[in-house]
Structure 1
């Protein structure tokens, strides 16, 4: 074995470590962006309106499925550990107790919309605002469905529909369209660095 052969595995391993650190940094940064977006809100009952869907759609479309999932799961883990990252924390509780409250279905929906949007982004849909927007619309429908079902469980059928869908449709479609536009412009720069 010559010297270059011995050196090559070390360089390869170093690149893997650097890549893992880069991905970890992106996931942490993404979770912070989601936490900040949760605090930019319009107070409502039982669920506040915030910029989370804009942040999560953008992150999922730019990061793709694996890194997007790592980011949203890290965010949820931070909240489960009691960090005040959710829109109603700490004033409405913290940790698992908060997650089982009125926003619980939406928190699960964030995972589902990340799966749908990240999957589409990995297939190149992020290049077209219409294609990635369509994927986001499916993710939005799943988010609203899960959020509404949980509110129905907590408050009954009629109130679940009233609180779970109506207040969010127009604002979330606007945020979805904005996210699709952002991704189509910035996606190439960011995704090229994820390879």
Structure 2
């Protein structure tokens, strides 16, 4: 039985990047959520799951939620990757949406800022981002926070906030 596995669900690459960095540091396998079977949980003592944040949900997190029985007795850590996951309000919403049920409440979740390239966003994602831009721009100046201004700038111009320093506390839990 291998000790640790990193499972991830990435949409634009940031979550995969963090998962690979964690895998390098812990010398453990890194597996895309789509390639991981629920039976595979039996092969590991420790599970690290990473997913990108979309509409408040952690993508791919269902593989964890639906397999809590299989995960009993295993160390489980989750990391969420997104543009504004470093904001306290966003973290609180993420906790409530993803870990609100009692059986999920004790799961440790870390937050890692991601990257965003507007030129690589298409379809429904582009529509969602356009709505966010319009919402942020429609706020009255007195209601607009510094965090809103930074988010608007990142969405309009793109940004890469990925940094290995954000995996340090995750790696420390397993060394």
Greater share of strand residues, 1 or 2? 2
User: TM-score normalised to the size of structure 1?
Assistant: 0.25
Structure exhibiting the larger radius of gyration computed from Cα positions:
1
Greater share of helix residues, 1 or 2? 1
